[in-house]
Chain A
Amino acid sequence: MGKLNYLTKEGFRNLRVNKLMSFASVTVLFSCLMLIGIAFMLLVNIDAFISNIESENVIMAYVNDNASSVEVKKVGLDLEKLPDVSQVELVGKDEAYKDILSDMDENLKIYLEGLDENPLPDAYKVTVGNMENFDSVVEKIKTVPNIFRVRENSSLAKQLANTRDSVTYISIGIIALLLLVSLFIISNTIKVTMFTRRLEISIMKSVGATNSFIRWPFMVEGMVIGVIAGVLATVAVWLVSEFALSSLTSSLSIVGASVEVNFIDYALWLALAFVGIGVFTGVFGSATSMRKYLKERKFVELED
């Protein structure tokens, strides 16, 4: 217990002694984590936005006008059985007619009201579960008996699926790259710290300190840098996303798609991930740079 205490204290001493370097690494790591966080929040928001549009992007399947009510029901059941269909909703002709009338201009209504019969067919609103399979779903719907027309917008659906894919890949790429940079930063800091303390390390080795004993303070140092940067980054991403959302929702509402992705829903996960990344890069970064250092650095550098 006393040992652990001493080692931990040493780690904090490292930080104090190398104030400037510690500050620099916290700052750079913080920036990296913040960028990771922003990339992540962007990914989440774009994903939500696309899902929102997708949910609007339904296939309308119109039923033959002369189909009986039993046949209409049968069509609904057939549609539900199709793979990749997540939702099937009947839009009855009367209902649709009422909708159209209520949306219409008074003058235009007169023409429709002049008709003695409802001209609209029964229809099914089919929502596709997986946008990748949109086309095949459409093809299958066309084969269902008593369907006389299918209205869809497959190009939009495809575009959305593509966009989502590329957004995901790019985000993952950026996040991975930034993670690597963070790792590099921390291990570099540790290397510099180790260089400035090579005298102490050489003495430690010469008096028989174990490698783990030599390593521990540096790990603590890396961990502390990671935790501080992680907490700061969480707060920063929160502020950024709040600000961005408030200014974005107003402009997005014009498009008609209001997206509500609250930072709070992700705050805990993001904070945990950040601190986790910080601790991981701290421990891993110091471990790798130490291993090299401990192996190469001899404690006696004598001129023969």
Chain B
Amino acid sequence: MIEFNNVSKKYDGASTYALKDVNITINKGEFVFVVGASGAGKSTFLKLMMREEVASSGSIVINGVNLNTIKNRDIPEFRRSLGIVFQDFRLIPNMTVYDNVAFAMRVIGTAEKKIRRRVPYVLSLMGLSDKGKNYPAELSGGEQQRVALARALVNNAEIIIADEPTGNVDPQMSYEIVDMLMRLNEAGTTVIMVTHEQSLVKCFNKRVITIKKGVVESDENAQIGESATAHLNAASEIANEYVVPPDEDYSAYVSRSEAPAEDADSEEAPKGGES
């Protein structure tokens, strides 16, 4: 559970507030989009959540931890409950995919034996089982972001914070990544995804918090009656909107999203021919 109570943030030397009187409650297991233009205060929102910045006023409580009063030495422990995914992936180029994911466990002192069990499992969740020995540069943008996601998950994060995770990948991959986040969410993880891509957000029937000039402009809950159908509609909308490369196994992908097989077929055939 994440609670922002009247949170304002003003940076040293700044004349205006980066965030002003923000009141947000995000419950465990929610999926929330945080939308806003550049400079709206999204990053500040994230930084406050990660306790990289401290609120100027108001209080922030995450999973029972009060970020205003947390001691410096307790911050690392707190951050282990968060899984952070960055726009630029932040994978270490001279480490294999396996080592990149294992790195997150090693640096918090996990035993190697446990790492050897856990990493392959998380990689398989992300559909990266056969990529363990590859280096990040050998992967596509979407795959790299999935590695980053695997790394965020490997320590059993309760909350996934994704900062523009689709910023550096093509539109089709964007859908794939959001879908991946959805599935994590269905498994019980709270997901907060920051993005400026309104069109992408519209495809998914989820809560959307819009930040504008440091103020929460709107906080719209998911439409009532959220169901597989809504999800499906979103899927086909995306499929219509974006060109699917012929070598991508899109049908398998859609079937995971519970799309009818014929739907996928009808989409793929003409698109594949075009590109």
Contacts and interface: CB of A to CB of B under 8 A. Distances in A.
Interface of A: 2-3, 6, 17, 199-200, 202-211, 213-214, 298-300, 302-304
B3 interface: no
A213 B110 CA distance: 12
Given A199-B92, A300-B86, A300-B163, A208 B109 contact: no
A150 to B, nearest CB: 72
Contacts of B80: 207-208
B109 A3 contact: yes
Identify whether the interface residues of A are mostly helix, strand, loop, or mixed: helix
From B38, B42, B80, B86, name the one whose CB has the most chain A CB atoms within 10 angstroms. B86
Give 8 nearest A-B pairs by CB, closest first: A208-B79, A208-B80, A302-B43, A209-B107, A304-B43, A207-B104, A208-B76, A210-B76
Given A3-B109, A208-B77, A298-B52, A203 B104 contact: yes
Nearest to B40: A304
A300 B50 contact: yes
28 contacts: A2-B112, A6-B112, A17-B94, A203-B92, A203-B103, A206-B84, A207-B79, A207-B104, A207-B155, A208-B75, A208-B76, A208-B77, A208-B78, A208-B79, A208-B82, A208-B108, A208-B155, A209-B76, A209-B108, A210-B73, A210-B108, A300-B47, A300-B52, A300-B84, A302-B46, A302-B47, A302-B87, A303-B38
Interface string B40-69: 111110110010100000000000000000
Given A203-B103, A208-B77, A300-B43, A213 B108 contact: yes
Interface residues of B, number: 37
Given A208-B79, A302-B163, A213 B107 contact: yes
A207 B83 CA distance: 7
A304 B151 contact: no
Interface of B: 18, 38-44, 46-47, 50, 52, 73, 75-80, 82, 84, 86-87, 90, 92, 94, 103-104, 106-109, 111-112, 151, 155, 163
A16 to B, nearest CB: 11
Given A203-B90, A203-B104, A210-B76, A304 B44 contact: yes
B206 to A, nearest CB: 22
Contacts of A200: 92, 103
B109 A213 contact: yes
A304 B87 CA distance: 12
Contact of B41 (A199, A206, A304): A304
Contact of A304 (B39, B75, B84): B39
A302 B44 CA distance: 9
Given A213-B107, A304-B18, A207 B151 contact: yes
